[in-house]
């Protein structure tokens, strides 16, 4: 089985914020399931991602929209195909 290593890039910072091992694709390659091998995410971004999912779980959608806009400012994408990343979820 081939290992598919890729990178998550922040267009805002023009740098790699994570190296990932892609485990699977869904929805014609739009949705990825990946293991983070090297995590260089800015602390503020990690906090925003956590807050986003907490507010979704609390049905606080007005706050969700605000947090999502802040996350989008990081301009995250997959290096190999320039796919924008939306709704990033990190599971420990």
User: Is residue 37 classed as helix, strand or coil in its secondary structure?
Assistant: strand
pTM of the model: 0.84
Domain of 16 in residue numbering reads as 4-78
Question: What share of the chain in percent tops pLDDT 90?
Answer: 63
Task: Read off the pLDDT of each residue in 11-38 and give the average, rounded to a whole number.
Answer: 86
* Band of pLDDT at residue 27, cut at 50, 70 and 90: low
Among residues 27, 20, 15, which one has the least CA distance to residue 75?
Answer: 15
Contacts of 65 (CB under 8 A, 6+ apart): none
Q: Number of folded domains in the chain?
A: 1
- How far is residue 42's CA from residue 60's CA, in Å, rounded to a whole number? 24
92 in a domain, yes or no?
no
85 in a domain, yes or no?
no
33 in a domain, yes or no?
yes
Question: What share of the chain in percent tops pLDDT 70?
Answer: 92
Task: Read off the pLDDT of each residue in 6-22 and give the average, rounded to a whole number.
Answer: 95
62 in a domain, yes or no?
yes
- How far is residue 88's CA from residue 43's CA, in Å, rounded to a whole number? 15
86 in a domain, yes or no?
no
């Amino acid at each position: 089985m081939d290992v598919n290593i890729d990178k998550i890039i922040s267009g805002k910072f023009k740098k790699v914020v994570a190296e990932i091992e892609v485990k699977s694709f869904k929805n014609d390659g739009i949705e990825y399931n990946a293991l983070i091998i090297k995590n260089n995410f800015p602390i503020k971004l990690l906090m925003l991602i956590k807050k986003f999912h907490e507010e979704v779980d609390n049905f606080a959608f007005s706050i969700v929209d605000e947090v999502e806009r802040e996350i989008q400012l990081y301009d995250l994408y997959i290096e190999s195909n320039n796919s924008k990343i939306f709704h990033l979820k990190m599971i420990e």
